[in-house]
Structure 1
Amino acid sequence: MSAMQIDRLLDTVIKQEASDLHLTVGKPPTVRMSGRLVELKTKSLDSEDTTSLMKSISPERAQNELQEEGGSDFGFAYGPQDDPEKSARFRVSIFRQKGSVAMVLRRIPNKLLDIDKIGLPPIVKDLIRRPRGLFLVTGPTGSGKTTTLASMIDYININLDRHIITVEDPIEYYQPHKKSIVNQREVGTDVPSFSEALRRALRQDPDVILVGEMRDLETIEAAITAAETGHLVFGTLHTNSAAGTINRLIDAFPTNQQQQVRAQLSVALIAVLSQQLLKRVDTKGMCAAYEFMVVTPAIANLIREAQSFKIPSAIQTGKKFGMKLLDDFLWELYAAGKIAAGDMIDRGSNSDQLIEKVHRAGGTIGRPELDDDAA
């Protein structure tokens, strides 16, 4: 396969609005559409194909890293940038498997979504106007965290004069300067690590800092410190609930520091938004479900007193702040006919309770993908 054919594959991804393209030996190129994998009607790839496809788009840095580390990530723009219908940015992961090269390319939509269109609680706009604090967006890989954060940064960029520094691996959405100045740093290209970028950022007169991933203790520590010292810090974690996020942050620290970190978090943290993306059954595409927690004095107290197990009931009583538990949001989507019962139960925190609610409402729990395959 030549470079020409990577173009054809990428054109297909853009035209079909697929979210990902998978290239691996022994399988035809495969795209993910509305959460499902679909093989393209072309030949299975061999080792030579995947290597030449990789070389046609990978910068030298990534190819060296693939040789030395067995994998690399990078982003690149494709297509005529003045024509949003035919162009996109891609986040690429290249890696070795069974001695051959494999790749996954994720399409980053060109258009930043308006913060109102994402369906976030209205209070989010007030929270991200604050001069300091830590706002976390969490969820599994592919749950739309990057898109949500990009929309929040765009809202600040349009409405406020701020110096925004983002640290990303790789940069996904390009943010042009609007009312704010936006400096985007790519790990591996502009700076060696998240923690190093954060350490440097504090000397660069930032108002807002986005940490693409809070992977290690050093980065988590630096993000909390930045939020305490008068910066608005956005960060992401791979957690599925607000209480789980608090526990993950605290467990990253040695036991003798955990009490102090609880005290710091109770002051620095302003909100946690945990999200999931689910396949829609009423129309094509996906929809998001959220768990949203605002740190009120009551919740700050629970964090300080190591009582995160009480956070879900505090979220339930915090409806006036726009707070919501994931299971309640999932149930609303299911009741409105937007998602399947099986998907709701797979993603929910308390599956048994949701199963009971479905049965009480006279529903059945089908798995759409199993039904399709059986047909």
Structure 2
Amino acid sequence: MEALESLCESCLQAGASDLFLREGATPFIRLGDQLHALETAPTSEDLLHFLWSACGAKPEASDHDASFVTRSGLRFRVNLHRQLGVRGAVLRNIKTQIPSMEDLGLPVALLQKWFSRPSGLVLITGSTGTGKSTTMAAGLEWLNQTTTRHIITIEDPVEYLFQENLSRFTQREVGADTPTFAEGLRRALRQSPDIILLGEIRDAVSASTALQAAETGHLVLASLHSSSAAEAVERLHRIFSPEEREDASALLAAQLVGVFTQQLLPGLNQKLFLVGEHFENQAATRQWIRKGGGTELVDFMQNSQAPENRSMTTSLVQAYRDGQVSLEVALAAAPVVDEFRRASMGISSQAFSTVET
């Protein structure tokens, strides 16, 4: 159907992650954490009827998950649903073109060092829609081009399809290929992996299994919803019951490689601009991780002169000084506005040096 093909192409051209359709309503797309209406006609009943049929859903279905491939080869993961009796759909673009870490503006040298580790836990964190999956995919694609590894991904849904080069990929989707993240991770340990990508740490079981996988000699890359690197440590600390917390935190302190937290901000060039904060786990940080993070980690990132450690305030000031984002955008994203104002005027003792990539 031409109308659906056109909407899917518009989603791709805009660089959107999701396309939202509802019968009788204007289609929307998601760019980062923002929703934007498309300048097109409202979604017709015929379009959704066609999509229902193309996805193999029964006409009376109220919930249905499937995949959809356009005539031009674009792949989408589709959720069909009803709300107040009206049919709707959310289509997520499954990408095969994976951007490089350089193109994304990531701290390349740091992440390449982390992704080259033989074992341990690397956390990529941020809010929904900040590009965590893209960052992990870029890192895996770099490995695919440079090393021979067996890489197992466990995702909900699969967001990128890897074309095998030097590495071999086993891509598993929660629901279709394995019942849960925790079960998929547990089974992955029997599949001779070198690297495991865990789409999201959602509960104590998946967190515990990820740490055990790291402890037994595997590199685990996992995403976690958190607004800061210190909060990521605190969340993992709290995810365990009081009875489990001491042992789990000790294991986290021993196995954590580092935490990278990212935001996507509206740039002055009309494109989204990535800013991040990160710390590499070392002797000084292990004691704070055992205690659940806290202000010590925040101060450590803010005051450290080492390129492995960088606060969000430092990155925001650098982005503002370099003309990448406006003052209003930087202030809105700053963890502490007063600290950003002081740092942008050079009052902070922190040296705002650009991380080499």
Equivalent residue letter for 1:78: T
Q: Give the 5 Å matches for 1:18-29.
A: 18-29=16-27
Deviations 1:93-141 (A, max 9, x none): 4443333232233334442111232222212111111110000111111
Equivalent residue letter for 1:297: A
Corresponding residue for residue 265 of structure 1 = 252
Query: SS at the partner of 2:102?
Result: coil
Question: Any stretches of 5+ residues in structure 1 without a counterpart?
Answer: 82-87, 362-375
Aligned counterpart for 1:171 among listed residues 148, 158, 179: 158
Deviation at 1:343, TM superposition (A): 2.3
Deviations 1:221-261 (A, max 9, x none): 11111111110001111111111001111111111211111
* Pair 175,319 (structure 1): closer, same or farther in 2 beyond 3 Å: farther
Deviation at 1:184, TM superposition (A): 0.5
Corresponding residue for residue 329 of structure 1 = 315
Query: Are 1:162 and 2:149 matched, yes or no?
Result: yes
Query: Are 1:240 and 2:227 matched, yes or no?
Result: yes
**Distance (whole Å) between structure 2 residues aligned to residue 74 and residue 22 of structure 1:** 15
* Pair 174,347 (structure 1): closer, same or farther in 2 beyond 3 Å: same
Corresponding residue for residue 204 of structure 2 = 217
Deviation at 1:338, TM superposition (A): 1.6
Equivalent residue letter for 1:234: L
**Distance (whole Å) between structure 2 residues aligned to residue 188 and residue 278 of structure 1:** 32
**Distance (whole Å) between structure 2 residues aligned to residue 141 and residue 53 of structure 1:** 30
Deviation at 1:23, TM superposition (A): 1.4
Corresponding residue for residue 302 of structure 2 = 316
TM-score normalised to structure 1 length: 0.83
Identity of aligned residues (%): 34
Deviation at 1:327, TM superposition (A): 1.8
Deviation at 1:35, TM superposition (A): 6.5
* Pair 357,128 (structure 1): closer, same or farther in 2 beyond 3 Å: closer
Corresponding residue for residue 78 of structure 1 = 70
Deviations 1:19-39 (A, max 9, x none): 432212452223346865443
**Distance (whole Å) between structure 2 residues aligned to residue 342 and residue 285 of structure 1:** 16
* Pair 223,344 (structure 1): closer, same or farther in 2 beyond 3 Å: same
Q: Give the 5 Å matches for 1:26-65.
A: 26-32=24-30, 37-45=35-43, 48=45, 51-52=48-49, 54-60=51-57
Deviation at 1:306, TM superposition (A): 3.9
Deviation at 1:279, TM superposition (A): 1.1
**Distance (whole Å) between structure 2 residues aligned to residue 356 and residue 321 of structure 1:** 21
Deviation at 1:209, TM superposition (A): 0.3
Deviating 4+ runs (over 6 angstroms): 63-66
Deviation at 1:79, TM superposition (A): 4.1
| Greater alpha carbon shift after TM alignment, 183-192 vs 37-46 | 37-46
Equivalent residue letter for 2:317: W
Corresponding residue for residue 371 of structure 1 = none
Verify the 8 A CA contact 1:24 1:50 in the aligned structure 2: no
Question: Any stretches of 5+ residues in structure 2 without a counterpart?
Answer: 347-357
May I ask how many residue pairs the two structures share in their alignment? 345
TM-score normalised to structure 2 length: 0.87
